A = this chain, B = another copy of it.
Amino acid sequence: MQKYIIISNDIRNKILKGEYVANQQMPFEKDLCVHYGSSKMTVKKALDILVTEGLIIKRRGSGTFVKDLNPEEIERVAMANQFRGTTALYAGQKVVSKILNFSVVKVPEHAAKKLNIAPDSFVYDIHRVRYVDDEPFVMEKMYMPIDLIPNIKEKNIKGSIYEYIEKDLHLNIQSAHRTVSVRKATDFEAEELGLEKGDPVAVAEQRGYLDTGSAFEFSTSIHRYDKFSVEIVLTRN
Binding site for B on A (CB under 8 A): 22-23, 41, 54, 57, 59, 65, 67-70, 73, 77, 83, 113, 116, 172-184, 198-202, 209, 211-215, 223, 225-226, 228-236
Query: What are 10 of the A-B contact pairs (CB < 8 Å)?
Result: A22-B116, A59-B212, A177-B233, A178-B231, A178-B233, A179-B229, A180-B232, A198-B198, A199-B200, A230-B230
Which residues of the other chain, B, contact A116 by a CB distance below 8 angstroms?
Answer: 22-23, 68-70
> Would you call B23 and A57 a contact (CB within 8 A)?
no
The contact of A213 among B65, B179, B212, B213, by CB within 8 Å, is: B65
> Would you call A229 and B180 a contact (CB within 8 A)?
yes
Which residues of the other chain, B, contact A201 by a CB distance below 8 angstroms?
Answer: 182, 200
> Would you call A182 and B179 a contact (CB within 8 A)?
no
For A172, the closest partner residue in chain B by CB is: B236
- A47 CB to nearest chain B CB (Å): 14
| A83-B236, A225-B200 known; A175+B54 contact, CB < 8 A | yes
Identify 20 new A-B residue pairs, CB closer than 8 A, beyond the known A54-B175, A57-B174, A69-B116.
A41-B41, A57-B211, A59-B213, A65-B213, A67-B209, A68-B209, A68-B215, A83-B236, A175-B236, A176-B233, A177-B231, A177-B233, A178-B233, A180-B229, A180-B230, A181-B225, A181-B229, A200-B201, A202-B202, A230-B232
